Amino acid sequence: MPDPGVTGGDRRRLVGLVVGAVVAALIVALLVVGLVNRGTSTAIDDALEAGSRPPAPALTLPVLVSGPGLPPVGKEASLADLTGKVVVLNVWASWCGPCKDEAPVLEQLWRDNRDAGVVVLGVDIQDLSADARAFIREYGVTYPSLRDGTDDAKTALEATGVPETYIIDRKGRIALHVAGPLSSAAQLQVPLDQVMAER
């Protein structure tokens, strides 16, 4: 039963206040994101948008999980060592909720394409090694991963968050950048097939 003390005008004012508060919160969130990502280059996305493929950064990072073409765990691996292979590089972290949903998608891509010479490669950022290894065990990740303890990879890849995914062609150039989580392996399979077909 409606409260006889609350008028239609009061309800409209209350709705107006709630809407105003939501809009203000969204503006503050956008400002925070802008401040956090201030100074982040967009050269990779700009080049891709213009139809060219920028060179992948020369990353050298410790191996968290080894795999084809990579040295053992604890040694350093260079992205340049994988030139000649198609690489699906995924920036992730154990504390990232969408990364948990995305892990099976990347695992499927790895299983479906590794025999064709594709390397799915994780780059763990802003994380503790123990947490990263626990994530790998919990989500059954078998593709290799490197560890970025300094944010050098994040900066070089111009990543603004996690997860972000890149396809790197055989010549070591970035062919695709996906900011945000992959919803299915099929989302990446077509562009991956196109890059794999190139000689």
**What pLDDT does 68 receive?**
87
What span, in angstroms and rounded, lies between the C-alpha atoms of 116 and 102?
A: 22
Name which of 51-55, 149-153, 176-180, 194-198 the model is least confident about: 149-153
**What pLDDT does 196 receive?**
97
Task: For residue 47, name the pLDDT band (cuts at 50, 70, 90).
Answer: very high
Task: For residue 192, name the pLDDT band (cuts at 50, 70, 90).
Answer: very high
pLDDT in tens, 148-183: 999 999 999 999 999 999 999 999 999 999 999 999
Q: List all residues 6 or more positions away from 96 whose beta carbon is below 8 Å from its beta carbon.
A: 162, 163
**What pLDDT does 41 receive?**
80
DSSP 115-154: GGT-EEEEEEESS-HHHHHHHHHHTT--S-EEEESSSHHH
What span, in angstroms and rounded, lies between the C-alpha atoms of 128 and 130?
A: 5
Token code pair at residue 26: 């969204």
